[in-house]
Amino acid sequence: MDRLKLSLRGALLAAPFVLWGGNALGRDDGRYASSPLKPWFDSLRSHLGPCCSDADGFAVSDPDWESHNGHYRVRLDGEWVDVPDEAVITEPNRAGRTMVWPVKTAFGVSIRCFMPGSMI
């Protein structure tokens, strides 16, 4: 029983670091280093934090996102995920395409940033 309590205590102490580390990791691999939009992508932020860069997000085709009553949802890995209002980027979309920055944790997928496109 003491061993179980000790294991549980260790897991609870480690959980915040594991979850925080998953959110902080970016993968800027240099693909967009020469893009004129790189500084703009690097500066993007939602109310949930920085979006990181174009390499961390990806474009979403029109059938994989929708808007209803001022709220958004996006299809990721075949599942619809509601976009929190705090994740929506409200500045003009210079890229033109819909972008999403998902964060995958042990508890599922959440959206860090979402930038709607033209939907035409």
Report the candidate in 54, 68, 66, 55 with the shortest Cα–Cα distance to residue 96: 54
- Determine if the pTM surpasses 0.85: no
pLDDT at 35: 85
- Domain 37-115 fold is OB fold (Dihydrolipoamide Acetyltransferase, E2P) (2.40.50)
pLDDT at 19: 41
Q: What φ, ψ does residue 49 adopt, rounded to 5°? A: 135, -175
Where are the domains positioned within the chain? 37-115
Q: Could you list the mean pLDDT of each consecutive 10-residue stretch along the chain, which spans 120 residues?
A: 47 43 48 82 92 80 93 95 96 93 91 84
Alpha-carbon distances, residue 23 vs 7, 18, 41, 74, 112 (angstroms): 24, 9, 17, 19, 9
